[in-house]
Amino acid sequence: MTTYILLANWTDQGIRNIGESPARLDAAKKALADMSGALRAFYLCMGDCDMVLIIEAPDDAVAARFTLQLGRLGNVRTRTLKAFPEAAYREIIASLA
C-alpha cells in the first residue's frame, strides 16, 4: 500500500456545520476502507492546515478517487502528498550515485 498525507482545510460550509465533522470523519474512514484503503492517523491542527490525515491506498487512482469524493461534498479542500517511507527514500538516494 502507498502512503499519502492529506492536508485539509474546512470550507465555509464545513466550518458552518462543524458539529457534523466527527460523523463526516467516520464516513470518510468507511469510504476509504470500502476502496481497500485505510486512514492511519488523523490530526486536528493549528496553523496553515485545519487537519492532517495519513492514509494508505492501493494506488494513486484510489487516493485520487477518495480525495475527489471528499471534495465534492463541499466540506473540505485537500492537498495530497505522496509519501515515501524511509526504505524507499534510501533506495532513491542511493540510485543517484
Rounded Cα distance, 93 and 73, in Å: 39
What tens digit of pLDDT does each residue of 2-25 get?
999 999 999 999 999 999 999 999
- For position 56, what pLDDT does the model report? 98
Contact 39, 53 (CB under 8 A): yes
CA distances from 18 to 13, 25, 52, 66 (A): 9, 11, 16, 21
Predicted model pTM: 0.93
Q: Is residue 78's pLDDT more than 90? A: yes
Cα–Cα distance measured from residue 30 to residue 50, given in angstroms and rounded to the nearest whole number = 21
Which domains are delineated in the chain?
2-94 (3.30.70.60)
Q: Which tens digits make up the pLDDT trace of 39-51?
A: 999 999 999 999 9
Residue 97 has pLDDT above 90, yes or no: no
Closest CA to 73 of 19, 10, 30, 29: 10
Q: Which 3 state secondary structure label does DSSP give 11?
A: coil
Q: What is the pLDDT of residue 49?
A: 98
